[in-house]
Amino acid sequence: MTYRFPENFIWGAATASYQIEGAFNEDGRGLSTWDTFSRQPGRVYGGHTGEIACDHYHRTAEDIALMKELGLKSYRFSVAWPRIMPDGEGQVNTRGLDFYSRLVDDLLAADIEPLITLFHWDLPQTLQDRYGGWKSKQVSSLFADYADVVTRELGDRVKRWATINEIMCFTILAHKEDRHAPGGKEPEKIVNQTIHNALLGHGMALEKIRHNVSGAIAGIVENLEAPWPLMEEEPYLDAARKAWKIKNLQRLFPLMTGIYEEEVYTRNFGPLPDYTEQEMKIISAPMDYIGYNYYTCPPVKPAENPNGFTDVILPEAYPKTDMGWDITPEAIYWSLKFTKDYFGDIPVYITENGMAAPDQVEEDGTVQDIDRISYLRSHLKSLHRAVDEGCPLKGYYLWSLMDNFEWALGYSKRFGIIHVDYETQKRTIKESGRYYSRIMAVNRVL
């Protein structure tokens, strides 16, 4: 079997502003909640911050040259809200807009199509201080204002947009588990309200994209819960189908259906947020695609409980990445199948997928990350199976283009296909980068 993908399949790689840009206090940029959080003792591994990161702000020409050498067809990156509007509202920082405008022009000149994510967690600190961040619907509205500014400036050249990346990570991980910025444990009701307010911000921003960008291809990026059947037969398939819906009921299903299913929601996630029917209509406005970020998920099996399933605990010896995440490529296939079952033929992009590995530069200057090559091969084969069976997968963005600031884990974990020496900022294309380059060139799994 050749594992060939459709001719118009989009191959790319992804990054995020706070993880790579650096230049945290240059050219008018305001502070973000991650600037504040990472300076708090004990919050981030080794006291690391994103103040320099990969210095991408000053090295865009070098980084785009590497993208071109790899043969990327598309590059997904995020815009830093505090670089555009230092206070999150009001005055626009033209130097920040100019940076992204030049980046877009340089990408297009290199025949690399941009996919812009408007929000990848770096909320302006001022909005956290004034309104409590995403605890307030005022921030939903201000996010739409920010989206309006960015899309007016870049929408003449950029057609692919994602509103928000991984709502769970700045709501549940921040306010329930106290592991991400802005931090601080809150009651379930407030956590659920932050999720709703982020969904509302997505819908309001989507309206701005539609208005400002002719021919826009717009959606959201979700870190997908991806339960899969331990065996490919009933009743395991039924259990996995139920699990996929329930585990994605809080964010993905309201986006697609405009409904909170109260009984199941409250049983699994706690109190419903405060909302109006008009807000649900805004949240569920049709998208052009769903973006899925996928890394790991355990299988499920049938169970005699109200949900009808239980997670299978994988053994300690099960293959894992350097994050300690189980390597489960089967899950990504089933998620595409279940998406088609529940939502029909809405296009899907894998907007992140990759693995952390303990990479090191060898004496000959190479990085022999064969483990990452194996990870990519297994996941791409699983995706190909779904495409071959009629699932409308349209593209794949590897995470990540380069090693970067891995949030609360600082610089201790490396996801890139380009190695970054943080002392010298030297970039080295890893063996996995060469492998992925060949895949993009021939449009099939190797």
**Predicted pLDDT of residue 170:** 98
Which DSSP helix (H) or strand (E) runs through 410? none
| Confidence category of residue 350, pLDDT binned at 50, 70, 90 | very high
Helix, strand, coil abundance in the chain, percent, nearest 5? 45, 15, 40
Indicate if the pLDDT at residue 37 is higher than 90: yes
Q: Say if CB 250 and CB 265 are below 8 A apart.
A: yes
Annotation says 352 is catalytic:
yes
| Confidence category of residue 299, pLDDT binned at 50, 70, 90 | very high
DSSP tag of 136: S
| Confidence category of residue 1, pLDDT binned at 50, 70, 90 | confident
**Predicted pLDDT of residue 4:** 98
| Confidence category of residue 348, pLDDT binned at 50, 70, 90 | very high
Indicate if the pLDDT at residue 373 is higher than 90: yes
**Predicted pLDDT of residue 438:** 98
**Predicted pLDDT of residue 181:** 98
For every residue of 167-196, DSSP letters joined together read HHHHHIIIIIS--STT-----HHHHHHHHH
Q: Say if CB 234 and CB 223 are below 8 A apart.
A: no
Indicate if the pLDDT at residue 19 is higher than 90: yes
What confidence tens digit (pLDDT) does each residue in 378-408 have? 999 999 999 999 999 999 999 999 999 999 9
- Rounded CA gap, 29 and 249, in Å? 36
**Predicted pLDDT of residue 420:** 98
- Rounded CA gap, 164 and 209, in Å? 13
Instruction: Please tell me which residue in 113, 166, 225, 406 is annotated as part of the active site.
Output: 166
Instruction: Please tell me which residue in 113, 330, 352, 406 is annotated as part of the active site.
Output: 352
Over residues 362-385, the mean pLDDT reads 98
Which DSSP helix (H) or strand (E) runs through 112? none
- Mean pLDDT (the chain) is 98
Give percent of the chain above pLDDT 90. Answer: 100
The distance of Cα 315 from the centroid of its chain, to the nearest Å, equals 28
What confidence tens digit (pLDDT) does each residue in 229-284 have? 999 999 999 999 999 999 999 999 999 999 999 999 999 999 999 999 999 999 99
| Confidence category of residue 157, pLDDT binned at 50, 70, 90 | very high
What confidence tens digit (pLDDT) does each residue in 418-436 have? 999 999 999 999 999 999 9
Annotation says 166 is catalytic:
yes
Note the pTM of the prediction, 2 decimals: 0.98
| Confidence category of residue 414, pLDDT binned at 50, 70, 90 | very high
**Predicted pLDDT of residue 221:** 98
Over residues 67-81, the mean pLDDT reads 99
Indicate if the pLDDT at residue 159 is higher than 90: yes
